[in-house]
Structure 1
């Protein structure tokens, strides 16, 4: 990976986005979508934008260099036009752990992956770039801006990622996948009428959206398949958790619980943990429980992988 090229690409991309933003009087995210469309056609009415597009093409970035370039641009954009918390991209350090878990739990070389709430597509691209498997990916996302962003970025990068717009809580016509991934949103689902169709629905208040999405995700998972879910750390102790645990007992096994450092999320109330669920099988295994204290320490990550592989061998996963 060439960081000098990433820096050059970032400067060119940022200049294009800011130029288009000023020309159209729009927000930075719509300007980025416009920039991506211009890149794909190879030109723009503005001479400076066209010149920068040619310079970007000459850099011949790899897919990972493109991903990093867009990631830096999102960090810059978020400083002036912050995205809501649930729309921000999943940190790379977590994406790498999810990639590792996908590799370890799924034996097949070719893997069908469904992402619930695909956002900007950064997590999907992280997994695609670093996995050794051939991934057939579909992301579902309700927000039209995020869908346009993720699809246009994938087109520029040349990734084999596919996205569909829809409210994942509502029924969708989707094929069953071998793996589900999701950085689940935190909050309540506003439509009680829809929520009442679920076993995890609360009869006293709005139901947690992440509870509904967990139940829904299992419907799109093959028998014995795995769901890799980033969910609130207090998932199994928070209000409405009794409803969730009752549903889990009937439909899924919690095969791994990997706590993440609170420092990544800023506050304890926003902290998340990786929960790996397996669609109910006749051979439940002892849950792998592990606290990851530092995602930047090579020694901590090495200890984690060694402990996980030992657990996997002991349980014949």
Structure 2
């Protein structure tokens, strides 16, 4: 019989804790994940639940905690629980960035930073912190100052717990990034961009991309807001829906971005990664203009092959790497 992996072992413990806390406190599975993560971090059950269940869970914490775990083991175990919780959620903005996409975005950030060992990364819609954690784990040899902001209280609690368990020194803020983003100017803004209407008209009207008809787009405002925060010459690596440039206000967004930044690339992800064609996404790379920044000779535009097609993917990665060399982001 195969031994369980640390990821499976931690997930089983986390799931048991979560389901019990969910039932005992009459909260959602997602809300209970943050509570269960705190118990794992503290090594004891901190919630007020029945004595019988508390004793059982504390015994389980003592007996079933994996002896040795990597940061990625922790992230992946929580990811499994989050996927389970989000299937039960009615909130459309509750979604997990696929692992392969998070790893690829980390690769792009690394290339754009061109060997720099220290830089600042910010995610203005950090959610549960899964994307940010995946990139930090991937670039663990770097000294990255990381910041994340999230308006959803449940998600930011999970992000906080996940950061603690992985020992990531991430500054997290429970706030609306469009209204306020309490972080130093980043070198890189990286985010799985939320899409929809923004409800605070008085705030939206302060933005160039804000609308006076009460129908401002949250994704437009986030791009503008973080462009203002971004250091001159800094980068954005954004996961966006493929139809971002097809809505009635797309021309305004494109005109704004053209004034403020250079589009470095648009990489369309394989449709097979998403449940429906309408849900397909791309990675949009931008560089904020500054006197010492040149527009790329040619933007990197590509449709990525399925990540399971190893030979085709290797060819594409070589093409992408060659582009970074050609444009001077990395040395030959």
Q: What displacement does 1:98 show?
A: 0.3
Alignment match of 2:92 (pick from 76, 81, 85): 85
Mapped contact 2:10–2:66 kept (Cα < 8 A) = no
The separation in 2 between residues aligned to 1:60 and 1:162, in whole angstroms, is 26
The corresponding residue for 2:70 is: 62
Secondary structure in structure 1 of the residue aligned to 2:245: coil
The answer to whether the 8 Å contact 2:147/2:183 transfers is no
1:194 maps to 203
Where does 1:11-160 land on structure 2 (aligned, <5 Å)? 11-44=12-45, 46-79=54-87, 81-82=88-89, 84-107=91-114, 108-131=116-139, 132-160=141-169
Aligned partner (choices 282, 293, 299) of residue 305 of structure 2? 293
Contact 2:124 2:181 in 1 (8 A): no
- Cα offset, 1:258, TM superposition: 0.4
Quick check: 1:9–1:59 contact (8 Å CA) kept in 2? no
Is 1:284–2:295 an aligned residue pair?
yes
Find the counterpart in structure 1 of residue 323 from structure 2: 311
CA shift for structure 1 position 62: 1.2
Q: How many residues align?
A: 315
Match of 2:171 in 1: 162
Q: Shift of the alpha carbon at 1:12?
A: 1.6
Do the aligned partners of residues 61 and 237 (structure 1) sit closer, same or farther apart at CA in structure 2, a change above 3 Å counting? same
Aligned mates of 1:173, 1:68 — CA distance in 2: 28
In structure 1, distance between residues paired with 2:308 and 2:211? 39
Query: Does residue 229 in structure 1 map to residue 238 in structure 2?
Result: yes
List runs of 5+ in structure 1 lacking aligned partners.
none
Looking at structure 1, the residues matched to 201 and 160 of structure 2 have their Cα atoms a distance apart, in angstroms, of 31
| Shift of residue 15, structure 1, vs aligned partner | 1.2
Deviations 1:36-55 (A, max 9, x none): 22223322251111112223
Partner of 2:277: 268
CA contact (8 A) 1:201 1:243 kept: no
8 Å CA contact 1:140–1:163 kept in 2: the answer is yes
Q: TM-score, normalised by structure 1?
A: 0.93
Aligned to 1:185: 194
Q: Alignment partner of 1:234: what SS?
A: helix
Aligned CA RMSD, in angstroms, stands at 1.8
